Structure 1
Amino acid sequence: MTPTDVHPVIREVTERIAERSSTTRRDYLERLRAAKHTEPARANMACSNLAHGFAAISGTDRESVKGLVRPGVAIVSAYNDMLSAHKPYAEFPDWIKEAARHEGGVAQFAGGVPAMCDGITQGRDGMELSMFSRDVIAMATGVALSHEMFDSALLLGICDKIVPGLLIGGLTFGHLPITLVPAGPMPSGLPNGEKSRIRQLFAEGKATREELLEAESASYHSPGTCTFYGTANSNQLVVEMMGLHLPGSTFVPPGTPLRRALTEEAARNAVRAAKSEEAPSIGEIIDERAIVNGVVALLATGGSTNHTMHLPAVASAAGIQLTWDDFSDLSSVVPLLGSVYPNGSADINHFTAAGGVQTLVSELLEAGLVHPDVRTVAGDGLERYREQPFLEDGELVWREGPGRSLDTSVLRGVSDPFDTEGGLRVLEGNLGRSVMKVSAVKQQHRSVTAQARIFDDQEQFKAAFKADELNRDVVVVVRNQGPQANGMPELHGLSPSLGVLQDRGHQVALVTDGRMSGASGKIPSAIQVTPEASTGGPLARLRDGDMLRVDGEQGTLEVLVPDEELASREPAAPAALHQFGTGRELFATFRQAVGRADQGASVFPTPEQQTQAQQPQAQQQSRDEVSA
């Protein structure tokens, strides 16, 4: 396959992203070129600075750093031993240091970044820190790399906000070769359908807390990533498709010889990249084509809606302007090839057994739905990602992976997809814009017109459900949950109760300026509505009993009242929010600075704002030159 074989819509969307981003991407690449170096980064340090940089290490590594010859590799890790996905990282630094040493480099643990779990904070106060944690992680990554001791970097992280945060931080050091290192999923546990059934029974009062806890602990039961296809596993697949993982390394389980071998190879590869002037930096790898490839992989597998915010924010860090319209247009031509919970009953291990990333890459390449001519940490071209890693006599080798699915109930080809379009819709109308993950919603439930019931927080909804006030067709509106209101928490805790209402035969939908995440399930949910209610968005003008149309097929989100009437209504006063406790007071500045959901919900400047900020400096420099 050649670049000219790329599907015309894929090519057109990529070209318009490049055109839209021409100035901001140029400015970013100029910053990369200015920062690039051909000798170890620490070579120009003053002796006192350098001495601080190796004071804590000994042996040959100390001499390597002091000698200013061997390249330095930074390790930035989200390790902690409370979260299952990140516990395996405890052993990785020692493996990496040893492998780097044998390859002629020196690796140092440059810094840790926070890693919080939305599964733990779900429905709790701490969830209001979750979305902001991504930008904290980006800043922590920047702090770790700011010592300028390093010629390449390995970023260790998996879940929700962690990977996007590592990418954003890494892209601010875009002149460095950077690889992301996964740790792999836990073994399959209780089937996801059974877990969901018990959750709904508990919501109805038909299962005890002990029964619910037993089901949950049978699902989340060992080190490794949770096995459903939420944001964590969406992160991993998207990153591999963008060329930042070693081929085939994404879903190899922790605690296996192959996992260790791939981690050691990532270290060796980082040393080789630091020594080579030809190896691409992360800022060169993440271009418009790589971003589109990541979006296509997300759509083709029905991945997490969180990436409609994360990928624009990551793209922005590389000077690239990605919009929801780009997602929508790509979704119209990308078929749904994966059926992994919550889109189906299988988990990520079943997906891997069915052919996994290698089969997905093969299908998308052959159909012209991804760009083959990209740069990756494994070299040029996406073709390498058809390959699967193995151990042969203790040596790591790659062989051609399965080109076709081994289980079509989980993974299919382009010629026989689960759906002819991707798993995402952009909805718009007089209530603003939102996104809906339709891949998990049965077709007969994708369009709902019903009276609205308005809530300002999750607890109000739960109380109404328990009081049997919602036993009818209803569009549940939970507003004042956007980034500026309270940090945009996930509202996945609503799902069991909403599922009960749907199972009773009612037409049910959810509309919110909050998030529902990669665990978004069978209820049609118009989420991340922008502009949000707390900034005067139309949701603030809704009233109980308004007729709302939520149509995932036609892409419509509207209240069926005349525009004049809607505009004349006084916006409801924002709900009294609890801005203190559980660390929330530390993020007041973030709530004031954060941008819109469709622009990444980030506290960082957009590419356009960065370019505008540079212009006065450039103008002043020009005036100084004229004066001279």
Structure 2
Amino acid sequence: MNPTVDRVTQRIIERSRAWRLDYLTRMQALKNSSPQRGTLSCGNLAHGFAACEQGDKDTLKLMNRANVAIVSAYNDMLSAHQPYASFPDVIRKAARGMGSMAQFAGGTPAMCDGVTQGQPGMELSLFSRDTIAMSTAVSLSHNMFDATLLLGICDKIVPGLLIGALSFGYLPTILVPAGPMPSGLPNKEKQRIRQLHAEGKIGKEELLEAESKSYHSPGTCTFYGTANSNQLLVEVMGLHLPGSAFVNPGTPLREQLTRVSTEQVIRLSKPQGGTLGLGDMVDEKSIVNALVALLVTGGSTNHTLHWVAIARAAGVIIDWNDYAELSSVVPSMTRIYPNGEADINAFHDAGGTPFLIRELLSHGYLHNDVQTVMGFGLERYTRGPALKNGELTWQPAPAKSLDPSVLSSAAKPFSEGGGLKVLNGNLGRGVIKVSAVAPQHHKVQAPAVVFNDQNELKAAFDAGELNRDCVVVVRFQGPKANGMPELHKLTPYLGVLQDRGFQVALVTDGRMSGASGKVPAAIHVYPEALTGGALAKVRDGDVISLNAGTGSLELLLDEQVLASREPVKPNLAASHHGHGRELFGWMRRSTSSPEQGASVFWNYDNETDI
């Protein structure tokens, strides 16, 4: 193992020892009493299979046959999830073929951040993760099941499904992807057209035409944002079938992967002699593997929140220092938009996750000694799926990348570091992704232009007030203020300013996610402005220094002057009511800090459940 990867892993193991032991003890107690439906009364069981066909009822009466829970985030508005409409029938047929059965245990919400960007609904996005976790727990609470298939892809959805399923971590669990849409309008061209619209050089009709050519069919969006980062990380954790993350929907291979996922989770179930559940597979080493995969691919900054929360659900405690230390030694091996011009289909065609995993294993960046849904050892994930005479087979990853401009070797990476930095200073603590930021923009020192609402920035841009070197501060965007929305709406304007030759940066207590591109952005800054963070004291014209190289985020102001300033107290009522936001006040009040996962479930400071 790379010594830094090994050192970080051992530190996490030691830090997590008490929480992990408690978690495994609880899961073992549940495992000992499974199959859970064996403890149900006759009335309970009769309710549980009342709507089933007689053959399925007979199967469920037998405690030596598996019942697979299907938990799905299907809806037909979200392009990535629309393909899931047909999956339950495929799963049921495959389960019956194994002498077992599957029941649709429950559905979870699935919102599309692409639809809600810049809209009121975006302020529910982060909280949808913990809502999905609770929905997953409710779905599995009937104690009818021996295994679980999780159907979800995007943003907060996969983290929510995993957090909820880890409460039932004694059950073997496989995540079933649906795949990305085929390539459409290149992402670089989409970005160019967005910037032209921001400058008023083209109208809404031309913009919509470009967007429709980019987002054009069922499947995940093809840029490397949170959704596709989810899929890659989950596969590197061994929770998918190997090589299945980026197979397009609606293909014979995609259907076979769903069928075989069903068969495999049944083989892992206790009635089939299985002994390991999801909680055994999501451990300290698999979490480190996920972080390494995130960093070497320049994945979504959302996962500095989400994987903290997923890890905590399994009794594993990680923090941003772990990310930063790993990032300092792992290579940067992909060029997928916004970190390059290619899309996720090009990455898959170049060798995809099997090639990436093999390279990282061979250079000691990933732990091989982990449990996966395919058995012990991550080397099983160095093969990709293919169809031969209609049957699923596994082929070794190519010896060399099939497109070195998209996917490099570990020996000759695009750069030596993973591109994620932690920032500290008198403005607080945050993160910055620099994998898509040109080196000349890694350090910005300029006067602040302060906004309390992201919508204020457009007016300032249109008025020409930002045509200068500046650090744009968008504050009161943290989880307690308004749910910590992603601020993608800012990206075209900031990109235009940079293209005009200005030194520009963003500092915010909000999120940017896959939109963290060529403009340096200090995000997730905490303490957030609403809770006394120094961001609430910044004034227009104050000089801010952001230095990704040294990891500093400083307001260049005498500390006594800063301490004497009264923080701004904005009226946030407009973000607390309407569009369902009034229902989430308890989440805003209860959420933990970004470095603790921005979760309503755990409070590390008190070491108690909320």
Deviations 1:359-384 (A, max 9, x none): 10011001100101000001000001
Report the equivalent of 2:353: 357
Report the equivalent of 1:471: 467
**CA–CA distance in structure 2, aligned partners of residues 613 and 298 of structure 1:** 28
After TM superposition, the structure 1 stretch with the greater mean CA deviation from structure 2, 399-408 or 87-96, is: 399-408
**CA–CA distance in structure 2, aligned partners of residues 61 and 156 of structure 1:** 22
8 Å Cα contact 2:545/2:552 also seen in 1? yes
1:203 aligns with 2:198: yes
1:549 aligns with 2:545: yes
Report the equivalent of 2:145: 150
**CA–CA distance in structure 2, aligned partners of residues 39 and 521 of structure 1:** 48
Q: Give the C-alpha shift of residue 38 in structure 1.
A: 6.6
1:528 aligns with 2:532: no
Deviations 1:270-324 (A, max 9, x none): 1111134444211010100000000000000000000000000000000111100
After TM superposition, the structure 1 stretch with the greater mean CA deviation from structure 2, 374-383 or 410-419, is: 410-419
Report the equivalent of 1:599: 596
8 Å Cα contact 1:229/1:519 also seen in 2? no
Please give the secondary structure, in 1, of the residue aligned with 2:523: strand
Quick one: which amino acid aligns to residue 61 of structure 1? Answer: D
1:186 aligns with 2:186: no
Query: Of the candidates 87, 100, 105, which is equivalent to residue 105 of structure 1?
Result: 100
Deviations 1:488-544 (A, max 9, x none): 000011000001100000000000000001121110000000110000101011111
Shift of the 570–133 alpha-carbon distance from structure 1 to 2, 3 Å rule, reads: same
1:412 aligns with 2:412: no
After TM superposition, the structure 1 stretch with the greater mean CA deviation from structure 2, 347-356 or 65-74, is: 65-74
The 5-angstrom pairing of residues 433-444 of structure 1 reads: 433-444=429-440
**CA–CA distance in structure 2, aligned partners of residues 403 and 241 of structure 1:** 19
Report the equivalent of 1:486: 482
The 5-angstrom pairing of residues 583-598 of structure 1 reads: 583-598=580-595
Q: Give the C-alpha shift of residue 553 in structure 1.
A: 1.6
Report the equivalent of 1:325: 321
**CA–CA distance in structure 1, aligned partners of residues 583 and 498 of structure 2:** 39
Report the equivalent of 1:13: 8
1:256 aligns with 2:229: no
Report the equivalent of 2:456: 460
Shift of the 525–39 alpha-carbon distance from structure 1 to 2, 3 Å rule, reads: closer
Report the equivalent of 1:56: 51
**CA–CA distance in structure 2, aligned partners of residues 435 and 188 of structure 1:** 30
8 Å Cα contact 1:549/1:558 also seen in 2? yes
Structure 1 gaps of 5+ residues are 1-5, 615-628
Quick one: which amino acid aligns to residue 344 of structure 1? Answer: G
Please give the secondary structure, in 2, of the residue aligned with 1:436: strand
Report the equivalent of 1:385: 381
Query: Of the candidates 332, 340, 344, which is equivalent to residue 336 of structure 1?
Result: 332
Please give the secondary structure, in 1, of the residue aligned with 2:450: strand
Structure 2 gaps of 5+ residues are none
Quick one: which amino acid aligns to residue 391 of structure 1? Answer: L
**CA–CA distance in structure 2, aligned partners of residues 21 and 584 of structure 1:** 35
**CA–CA distance in structure 2, aligned partners of residues 540 and 177 of structure 1:** 46
Report the equivalent of 1:315: 311
8 Å Cα contact 2:71/2:151 also seen in 1? yes
Please give the secondary structure, in 2, of the residue aligned with 1:14: helix
Report the equivalent of 2:395: 399
Q: Give the C-alpha shift of residue 74 in structure 1.
A: 0.2
8 Å Cα contact 2:279/2:314 also seen in 1? yes
Q: Give the C-alpha shift of residue 613 in structure 1.
A: 6.3
8 Å Cα contact 1:482/1:488 also seen in 2? yes
8 Å Cα contact 2:543/2:556 also seen in 1? yes
8 Å Cα contact 1:231/1:306 also seen in 2? yes
Quick one: which amino acid aligns to residue 406 of structure 1? Answer: L
Shift of the 39–425 alpha-carbon distance from structure 1 to 2, 3 Å rule, reads: closer
**CA–CA distance in structure 2, aligned partners of residues 287 and 403 of structure 1:** 30
Deviations 1:24-81 (A, max 9, x none): 1110010011110475321121000000000111131122113333111100000001
Q: Give the C-alpha shift of residue 268 in structure 1.
A: 0.5
8 Å Cα contact 1:301/1:423 also seen in 2? no
8 Å Cα contact 2:67/2:146 also seen in 1? yes
Query: Of the candidates 422, 446, 456, which is equivalent to residue 442 of structure 2?
Result: 446
**CA–CA distance in structure 2, aligned partners of residues 440 and 34 of structure 1:** 47
Report the equivalent of 1:265: 260
8 Å Cα contact 1:104/1:271 also seen in 2? no
Please give the secondary structure, in 1, of the residue aligned with 2:268: helix
Shift of the 360–140 alpha-carbon distance from structure 1 to 2, 3 Å rule, reads: same
Q: Give the C-alpha shift of residue 607 in structure 1.
A: 6.5
8 Å Cα contact 1:280/1:377 also seen in 2? no
**CA–CA distance in structure 2, aligned partners of residues 251 and 437 of structure 1:** 24
8 Å Cα contact 1:475/1:508 also seen in 2? yes
**CA–CA distance in structure 2, aligned partners of residues 609 and 64 of structure 1:** 47
Shift of the 509–613 alpha-carbon distance from structure 1 to 2, 3 Å rule, reads: closer
1:216 aligns with 2:211: yes
1:512 aligns with 2:499: no
Report the equivalent of 1:87: 82
Report the equivalent of 2:283: 287
Q: How many residues matched?
A: 608
8 Å Cα contact 1:40/1:72 also seen in 2? no
Please give the secondary structure, in 1, of the residue aligned with 2:554: strand
Quick one: which amino acid aligns to residue 160 of structure 1? Answer: D
Please give the secondary structure, in 1, of the residue aligned with 2:473: strand
**CA–CA distance in structure 1, aligned partners of residues 358 and 191 of structure 2:** 33
**CA–CA distance in structure 2, aligned partners of residues 556 and 119 of structure 1:** 31
**CA–CA distance in structure 2, aligned partners of residues 147 and 471 of structure 1:** 59
Please give the secondary structure, in 2, of the residue aligned with 1:21: helix
Please give the secondary structure, in 2, of the residue aligned with 1:435: strand
Quick one: which amino acid aligns to residue 597 of structure 1? Answer: P
Report the equivalent of 2:296: 300
**CA–CA distance in structure 2, aligned partners of residues 249 and 211 of structure 1:** 35
**CA–CA distance in structure 1, aligned partners of residues 19 and 348 of structure 2:** 38
**CA–CA distance in structure 2, aligned partners of residues 146 and 284 of structure 1:** 20
**CA–CA distance in structure 1, aligned partners of residues 275 and 333 of structure 2:** 33
Quick one: which amino acid aligns to residue 554 of structure 2? Answer: E
8 Å Cα contact 1:24/1:607 also seen in 2? no
Report the equivalent of 2:23: 28
Please give the secondary structure, in 2, of the residue aligned with 1:388: strand
